[in-house]
Chain A
Amino acid sequence: METAVELFYRKMLTDQQVAHFFDGVDMDRQIAKQTAFLTMVTGGPSHYTGRDMQAAHAHLVAKGLNDRHVDIVVEHLGETLRELGASPEQVQGVAALANSVRDAVLGRMRQA
């Protein structure tokens, strides 16, 4: 998991299209969040509610975070898993879980 998180985080920080969203963020704190995210999308326990995800990303949405960025993140996630030997089915499953929080991240939660 540690390797996956580092690989994933490294990809995001070196991708000019999304790296700026991480500016000024403490690396250790970010890694902890990425670990939680990866745990969740690989089927592990999640402590974040949809509302948490929405609140956490609100300031990034205000800076222009949109569907394209989420696509890029899901792409990096897939690449990371493939590099670590995941099968296409596993990657698809993870991408589905990641996409399930897309609306929350982008502040498009349906009113309950």
Chain B
Amino acid sequence: MNSGPTLFLGLFVAMACSWLSFVLGPQLQIGDMRPTTNIVVGASGQIYPNPEPGLAHQGAEVYRADGCASCHTEQVRPRDLGSDINRGWGVRRSTGYDYLFDQPVLLGTLRVGPDLANAGRRMDAAAVLLRLYEPRALTPGSIMPPSPFLFDKRKIQGAPSPDALQIPGPFAPPRGYEIVPRAEARALAAYVTSLHQDGYLFEAPPPLQPAGKTNAPAKPATNSPAK
């Protein structure tokens, strides 16, 4: 190994191995995935996934900009790996199909907060907005950072705004004021409520339940406050 060219040739081969197997190979296999009709339940002409509404796409940009993926994953692991499904974070494992319309695709690497792959099935927009404004209003002791910069605190003039948050208890604004979500907050809430991965695919069928049990997803224990 005393000649530069030999060294570079060897490095090139090693690098190429890694690149071919982790970039080019997967790209050839799943890079041009299309929405599928390969659905187990309700297969009559349905395709999965469906594009999300435009507001949700704008919300994905807010999700990216504020680094939400630092604490939240968007992927459900298979039943034999971890308790994702038993926790009610999903009814099946995530597959490549679930991300076809996402841009950017931020799966996350750390679960400081709960997984959001199926957040749209657990929360409505009002709950998401309230969590964004003051997470502790719904989950006492939550360590999620509040994001008041996504909201306007306004003096109520005339009738209160129909969009104003209904904030319980100690976090409510002073009398005569209201908290109204800005466009970013509404987009982010639309994005989070659009998240769902529940088309049953052949690749990831619904779990087989023993007779007598229902096929319903487990009770979502994730966001309920501690007892």
- A and B from one assembly? no
A residues bordering B, Cβ < 8 Å?
Answer: none
B residues bordering A, Cβ < 8 Å?
Answer: none
